[in-house]
Amino acid sequence: MDKIRIRPEVFFGLISPIGVDLDLVQSELSEGLRRVSFTPKLIKLTDFLREHPEWFDLRFETEFQRYEKFIQAGNRFCRVSKRRDALAVTGIAQIYRDQEDRPNVIAAGAAYIFRQLKRVEEVKTLREVYGSNILFIGCYSPKRSRVRNLVSILLKSERGTDANELEAQALKIIGIDENQKDEKDGQRFLDAYPHADFIIDCTDPTTIRSSVSRFIECFFGHPFVSPTRDEHGMYLAQTASLRSSDLSRQVGAAIFGANREIVSLGCNEVPAYGGGTYWLDHRPDARDFQLGYDSNARIRADMIRDLLGRLREGWLSEDYAAKSPEELATEALRDDEEQGPLARAMIADVIEYGRMVHAEMNAITDAARFGRATKDGTLFCTTMPCHMCTKLVVAAGIKEVQYLQPYYKSLVRELYEDSVAIDESLPNRVRFRPFVGVTPNGFRKVFEKARRKNNQDVADRWNPTDAFPIFTTGYPSYLNTESNVLSGLDELNDRMQQEAGKG
């Protein structure tokens, strides 16, 4: 007997930089969802800002100003409400507001699309509320396509402006959007990116269409979707990362040979005598957590103390010269309400003094240790390689690097322009490209399958009209959590009200 299945509610969060053709992504996704009998409903997170002109000044004359105003308003909302997930909370409120029967009833077959997420806290809150019923979709598009898209939008209000000037404006908006490093409540979509279950290739309309179509097949139960070589490679890199006991974060790498055979895996871990890195049964075990501190942070602090101590002799004002190097360094590196002058300084970014080998180094040295060729291979890594790993990648003859989390402020572009091409394919350069497709987060959900034939041994077929999502739970418990989050909304409103009263 066939089980009667009620279509659940499904939720999608779009994680995207500015400049991606999100209108097309949204319309293709909506179309795809209708094909599998779901009703798309758009939740636009900026609506809340628009609905409150008393709190947010969104008046603009040019498109450039429009982008600026919205980014500023979003940051202000997070700062005043003291919640970096504030916009996601307003999105959850929209779902409530539009439905009379909430919080008791789910809207069967509804597919909510949150457009768009910029902060990792937004992703986490949505995940906490909707659990397995939400998927996150990253939107990747190379910078040159995003600039071109943005220029065509800016042209709407600034026809007659010099093309170079428009391109400069576009680059400025993209720069602000990518990483507001110095802005405490600024958006950092790059941090949100690794949470995606799938990354859509938004390079052009054709890639958007084919990516979205595969996304639907993958997550709405096509029995015979199978991983691309790239998806398989990234999954192995991610798996390798889980062995790391690093104090900051786990990074993984996987090298495949010229014919896509697996060569080696690596993670960021402290090297052990005799080759490779520490495993849990090494004696003595000298991993960082056993030593109890991060050597990079320690040496960086020593450098800053040493520097400030030397400056005391005639280079600092009397007040500061009277302080000890320890006091000066602590004050300079403060990163709370009152930010010290060196908290976000370049010197705070040094990474050279960590004891661990990085995941990419680990994979390359393991290949050397076992005599396996890296020439013309592909390296998959969970984060874009740093400048130190990049020189080994180039020297090892690796042809292509794919990474899950891009890092646009990396020094690679500046230092290795002669041997590396980021985001584009150039002759005689190692190609660095962001990964697209089913991410390691989505991998097991999508590709783990049971029996795929009927009792007559005939292979299953996929029928979009009665397709069913593979990621949802049958007994969703988010109606309660949803209303809990909403009680926080009153508090957000109060804080905005108070702030407005002050001004």
- Site residues for Zn ion per CB under 5 A: 358, 386, 389
Strands (E), 131-287: 134-140, 198-201, 252-256, 262-267
Min dist. Cβ of residue 383 to Zn ion (A): 8
Q: Which is nearer to Zn ion, 267 or 333 (CB)?
A: 267
Helix spans in 82-219 (H)? 86-97, 120-130, 143-154, 163-178, 189-192, 205-219
Least spacing, CB of residue 426 vs Zn ion, in Å? 22
Nearer to Zn ion, 386 or 401 (CB): 386
3-class secondary-structure state, position 315? coil
Handedness of CA 461, 466, 469, 473 (dihedral sign): negative
Q: Which is nearer to Zn ion, 253 or 486 (CB)?
A: 253
* Gap between the Cα atoms of 136 and 333, Å rounded: 35
Closest separation in Å from C-beta 396 to Zn ion: 13
For residue 150 the two structure tokens come to 């943005």
**Nearer to Zn ion among residue 258 and residue 388 (C-beta):** 388
73, exposed or middle or buried, with CB in 10 Å at 0-12, 13-18, 19+?
buried
Minimum CB separation of residue 386 from Zn ion in Å reads 3
Other CB atoms closer than 10 Å to residue 136's CB: what's the count? 25
CB of 389 to Zn ion, least distance (A): 3
Residue among 386 and 486 whose Cβ is closer to Zn ion: 386
Q: How far is the CB of 452 from Zn ion (least distance, A)?
A: 41
Find how far residue 281's CA is from the centre of its chain: 34
CB of 356 to Zn ion, least distance (A): 10
CA distance 485 to 96: 11
In angstroms, give the least distance from the CB of 246 to Zn ion: 12
CB closer to Zn ion, 129 vs 253? 253
* 138: nearest Cα among 471, 442, 432: 442
In terms of CB distance, is 362 or 439 closer to Zn ion?
362
* Closest CB to Zn ion among residues 129, 389: 389
Amino acid at 178: E
Asked if 137 and 117 count as a contact pair (C-beta separation under 8 A), the reply is: no
CA distances from 475 to 36, 257, 472, 478 (A): 21, 45, 9, 9
